[in-house]
Structure 1
Amino acid sequence: MLKKLITYFVFAIIGLLLGYFIFGTTSEVSDLEINESVNPIGKWSCSMHPQIDGEENGVCPLCNMDLVFTSDVKEKLSSYQFRMSDDAITLANIQTIRVGIEPPNNSILKLSGVITTNKENDAVQTTLFDGRIDKLYQNSIGEKIRKGQEIGLIYSPELYAAQDKLLTSISYRDTHKKLFNSARNTLGLWKLNDKQIEEILEAGKPIVNFPLFADVTGTITEILASEGGYYSQGDPLFKTSDLRTLWGEFDAYESQLSFLKIGQEIDIQLTSFPNEKINAKITYIEPLVNKEKRTVLVRVFIKNQKGILKPGMFAKALVNQVNLNKELPILPKSAVLWTGKRSVVYKKPFSDKSIFEMVEVELGRRLGDFYEIQSGIREGDVIVNEGAFTIDAAAQLKGKKSMMSNKTIDSEIHHHENMKMELKDVPEKKDLSAHYNR
């Protein structure tokens, strides 16, 4: 009987101990479970403004909406950053490039222009005296003339009277030499040579239709006179040029001037002969900027002994030697989005994550299909070079900052501060965490 009592007593003590451990810690376990459910891993933010990071039971300072809890947040993204899925990146054919400072292979500077005549070899054939053009032997562009060649006939009353005066003075050549020489010199003022004057004296009568002789050599580039027209002394009949040498005149933008200098060799590519290149040197860079086109004229000297080149041909100048700044990063044009006064690119701040960030950059000189970047990015950054517009459209759909955003980061912060000041009188919600911890 005593043994049974001892056994019951032992079982009772064991039961009390088990009850204490089981039921005595119930409140602590409950409190722990409540605390874990109230404070899981994540953050409180606004549905309309995900950049807001607040506290439990708070309100958004921008729109006064209740903050909601977002769990399992792996990274905190700014308003200039957003994430894209791998499928979306593949579908949009997004390609990236790592920024470098080495000169690109196709950084050849290209200038557009036209082939012109060599102005130093241009000339104008004029009339030597007043009269009517009765005949022009050269009446089409492209004809060649040489100095001293007869080019037409002219009737000049003044020249006729001068000839008649000379013939009259023959009778007193021996007695009044000064009068005779004066009449002879009058014809010399109209550039008649001694041979022509002697022919007049031998003929014994004035020449009515006096021959016109060319005083220039070259190819006719423009005809300004016609048969039957009356022209005064010095009026132009046609323009000529020696086409054995030509000029190439090209337009260079202000940002390209630092790459050009007098004496620099360039290659000229013609639209008419795309497979041929002509080597030339820069002989002149205009000191003034064209106010309308915002360009500067760059001129080169071209030899044209074979006569292949024609004035008026369109041409491109390819500048091979580009003076690059080895300290500035270089980006292709496809990576840069222009937004009026701003230029932006999209970069990947984390190389192992599909996160993109809009960055404002300051463009430097243009290097063919590339740009020097003066600020905003640096060597080694990963930049979107294909599909930047698609990235920007995705940013707009996600409510993030994009190339169309007019506000800068500083103005955005200032706007948020003003919103907080306007909402300072909104009553804060009570913290209910103490209620759950009772």
Structure 2
Amino acid sequence: MKLRQLSTAAADFSNEFERLRHWSAETDAAIEGRVAEILADVRKRGDAAVLDYTARFDRVNADGVGALEIGQAELQAALASITPEQRDALQAAAKRVRAYHERQLQACGLSWSYRDEDGNLLGQKVTPVDRVGLYVPGGKAAYPSSVLMNAIPAHVAGVQEIIMVVPTPDGVRNPLVLAAAAVAGVHRVFTIGGAQAVAALAYGTATIPRVDKITGPGNAYVASAKKHVFGQVGIDMIAGPSEILVIADGTTPPDWVAMDLFSQAEHDELAQSILLSPDAAYLEAVHASMEKLLPSLPREAVIRASLEGRGALILTRSMEEACEISNAIAPEHLEISAAEPQRWEPLLRHAGAIFMGAYTSESLGDYCAGPNHVLPTSSTARFSSPLGVYDFQKRSSLIEVSEKGAQELGRIASVLAHGEGLQAHARAAELRLK
């Protein structure tokens, strides 16, 4: 395997490091143009356009969009049809995800108010979004875990209606995805996908209700469509390729770390897996493990392309320097594979999720640990956060000014409004002065 191996002590490390990090988030112009056409068509023709594109792209023909809706009875039937082991796993994961997001609600999702010395009431009212749209990939990839991670925090936040869209190429429906929708309490499910599904959710059709926010992963067409409709509706994020960065002190079995690096590389060829360590012998041991284990994996070709294209083993001068480099990368998934992870965690400022200790594989966070697996990519962890309850809520400021308060605040507002040349603003405040 031609895996990039770097050292922070090398004279050209900075240049090599920048080349490693580079990934263009620019969408192909042809995709942008096609997506714009699809969005405009769905906005104009509604259900008819959705049916046309579903027939063209997914090879599913239906008399109406209503025929593409999956009812609650079928969701429950899918839940009953999967193996007991799968059902137990879904329900256990859902329980943990719900418990985590209920704690999150208590921490950040509450309304509050207070009165100041003049009797003015000031505060914040938190209310849920009324209706959200959840995009779930279909076709090559099917992710029941994404159903749980998007729908459950929306439920905890108090969203009244969750609409799920999922493409079903050639009409093939994934029972595990439908079972996850049943467990997560999704209200309505439509078997449509692509940019046309995003358009239907954003603009509404005769059959599909318009939502207030769209969340969930998708391909380049879906990402482009979400970007286009932002403003008409809210979106969670524009996601780039998956990423994992491991900081290792050399105490974790090399096979474990090698497989953790594979776990993200297997998503697609553009995924990125990086290992940082001050122990050169350990880096070599992990590299040997990768060579040994890779041929045993079904997605060997994808993993190899990802690692050779964007992966790296980086020798650092110290664990402290490894933490500095991690902050520069701001990875989606960050593992501290060390004997004392709590020693290094305070040095880490930017990451979507931080996995601490040798036993904490990133894959546990993907499925069942509890925290959300929808995370910021492409260094956006510098300024954004994992999907959570707060993404399905909005805040309204509360202001109630007393008669006494209007005297003090009115004078301040009058001076500032006159300074801005907004006399009506000033007069509105002045009229309430005694």
Structure with the larger strand share: 1
TM-score category (smaller protein): under 0.3
Larger Rg: 1
